[in-house]
Structure 1
């Protein structure tokens, strides 16, 4: 390959590197909107006169223990939050809260993303094998939530029925011991309500406080208590193995119990039995009142993420396409292998690997948005590389021959002659990829990024209703896609003026 071809490849590599570094500046914020720092360094690098920081992991979709105050401040509130604030304040720590899915909390604890976890987590024997727990701070009872028209009141009545549980919860472990029960495990409590209302499951097993909220907001549902022994252990604070702060937390917990401070917090957050208004209609968009401004804030995150991911994917995809046509075997093999790996594995797995494996392998606490931007950009580039290569190869060979005959430099030929014509050819495919990125951006909610889908999950957990908020979010995505399509058509008409 001649020097001119090498120059264009080097230029592309430099551009991709600059864009990669820029991602760190565009996405400096963690999943909860605060600056993301590793849990270990946060607690060890505080300067003199400044409070040490502890990062607490939680899944803020489980009221009254933890939820997002979407109608007011947008902050995470709840029983667990108040207890954590009290303990860290007494110990002289500054508290930072990291919000993520419940089934990712232990992984975040083990990889050092968080210092401790409070999320209504029971200290089971299985969990004690991989993490440590504090003393118990609350003991809940398990309940059966079923339809009033077909109530299930005892453990024996669950045999042969379809039972829903939250994946990884103690209720999930208990349900596995029910003989003859067919289990359906879901990530979130609002999903259980939707499945129960739609008749896909006969009952859901949840704890008492959550069951009260569920039944008060869904008049067609009823709750019944299971035996006290069905709840194996109380809720406790989770820590990494051999954490030095477990004894400190236990000391404050003991003082809280002795002084009655713990009882005050429990009384503040548990339902007092008051009747909450709920619509008897199947669809009631009035439940969105007060939540719409909170949901619309996710549009900015979704669009920013999509834009940067698309730009990164386009630049890196262009580099890969140049590798494939370079004639240099190692570069061709690398680009082919890269495309094969990223097109052959699910995007969600790539996202989880980048987010959770990076701290473990490289000892770098990568922010959630940066991890999402990299995962989507790297995945998109694998598809775009083939699209761009096809566009370049579709340009008439005579164009290149004429440019070479006129003595036009290779870089100038590619940038001024070949790429513009290829771009016009592949524009519809590029627009389709951007639309796919926009819609698939909802996947980033699994690592706690506060995009449209994550905010919808917050509203679902607050209202225990899913259909209304999901329809509203779907409408927003549809409008965004229409706007993107409109801009693409205008650009396409402009590029085709020469025809």
Structure 2
């Protein structure tokens, strides 16, 4: 999800399939100020080290480069999106705060969501930070049927979010919750936890003697939103903070509304290669540090995402 930006809402719950396609044709955008490749110069690293309490705990690779490369999918305001050519949002701002603890810069590259974990495990990125729900499927590298597809990833949990249903403004079909989607058409982004939530609900519908949900899955969330707005789907499903932000901002608040309460709340995590345990552990320390010093809460308050606050980081806390 190099320009001046870091300074920008929960179950995705966006769950990127562990087997996803490699990121191609990504848009390179960097979070915050003067985050450029010059971070590899000795002078930059020395400057970064000054006043950064966790710098010495970083693996040598990052102490030398002064940079942690982040894969994201910048289509989920307020978590991460592109404004005026730069990536902004909750995740970039949290990364900026983490960078102050670690003495390095977080450089964000935006690509397809369902390719983030593959790109991470092939070394294209050092971490992935994109409203990614931490769950056992991703941790263990499994597909939706439990088949082993890869080694999986570790997560450093930093936020809590659930799934929400949104409709056209005025809710013309009278949808009150995800249970009301039996026999109806719903739009969603492919490879996300909320797509899985729709599949789970569809199964519950048929087991209860009702018609299955007609699920329309799209490559990106913008297409799903367009489908709902045009009336091609009675509702869309998304992360709760993203759905709330969408309802507040799209069409100046005239396009959509959120119905019912968020369900299946779970943690968002920073994904890290399972072999990179040193980086994983120091990231956990850094998340705890920004929670303790108040900078974490300031970021959430800035973006209207305070409902997702946690009081302590965790490693692989998702179920």
Alignment TM-score, normalising by the size of structure 2: 0.66
The structure with higher relative contact order (CA 8 Å, sep 6+) is: 2
Residue in 2 that maps onto 1:78: 89
What is the deviation of 1:237?
0.4
Residue in 2 that maps onto 1:64: 78
| 1:131 paired residue among 153, 158, 176 | 153
Bigger Rg, which one: 1
What is the deviation of 1:98?
1.0
Q: Secondary structure at 1:139's aligned position in 2?
A: strand
| 1:242 paired residue among 275, 281, 292 | 275
Q: Deviations over 1:11-50 (max 9, x none)?
A: xxxxxxxxxxxxxxxxxx984168xxxxxxx9xx945444
Q: Secondary structure at 2:116's aligned position in 1?
A: helix
What is the deviation of 1:178?
0.5
Rate the CA distance shift 1:53–1:119 in 2: closer, same or farther, 3 A: same
Q: Secondary structure at 2:133's aligned position in 1?
A: coil
Q: What CA distance in whole angstroms lies between the structure 2 residues aligned with 1:262 and 1:225? A: 28
Q: Secondary structure at 1:250's aligned position in 2?
A: helix
The question of whether the paired residues in 1 share the 8 Å contact of 2:160 and 2:268 is answered with: yes
Rate the CA distance shift 1:54–1:227 in 2: closer, same or farther, 3 A: closer
What is the deviation of 1:262?
1.2
The question of whether the paired residues in 2 share the 8 Å contact of 1:54 and 1:96 is answered with: yes
Alignment TM-score, normalising by the size of structure 1: 0.43
Q: Secondary structure at 1:138's aligned position in 2?
A: strand
Residue in 1 that maps onto 2:185: 162
Q: What CA distance in whole angstroms lies between the structure 2 residues aligned with 1:157 and 1:143? A: 13
| 2:246 paired residue among 214, 223, 226 | 214
The question of whether the paired residues in 1 share the 8 Å contact of 2:29 and 2:109 is answered with: no
The question of whether the paired residues in 2 share the 8 Å contact of 1:139 and 1:234 is answered with: yes
Q: Deviations over 1:113-145 (max 9, x none)?
A: 1000111111011111111101x2111232111
Q: State the Cα RMSD in Å.
A: 2.3
* Unmatched segments (≥5 aa) in structure 2: 1-24, 31-36, 46-65, 141-151, 203-211, 307-319
Q: What CA distance in whole angstroms lies between the structure 2 residues aligned with 1:55 and 1:137? A: 18
Q: What CA distance in whole angstroms lies between the structure 2 residues aligned with 1:113 and 1:107? A: 9
Instruction: Between 210-219 and 117-126, report the one with greater CA deviation.
Output: 210-219
Q: Deviations over 1:227-254 (max 9, x none)?
A: 54x23x2111011112120000100111
Rate the CA distance shift 1:63–1:220 in 2: closer, same or farther, 3 A: closer
Residue in 1 that maps onto 2:19: none
| 1:255 paired residue among 284, 289, 294 | 289
More helix per residue: 1
Q: Deviations over 1:253-288 (max 9, x none)?
A: 11222232211110001279xxxxxxxxxxxxxxxx
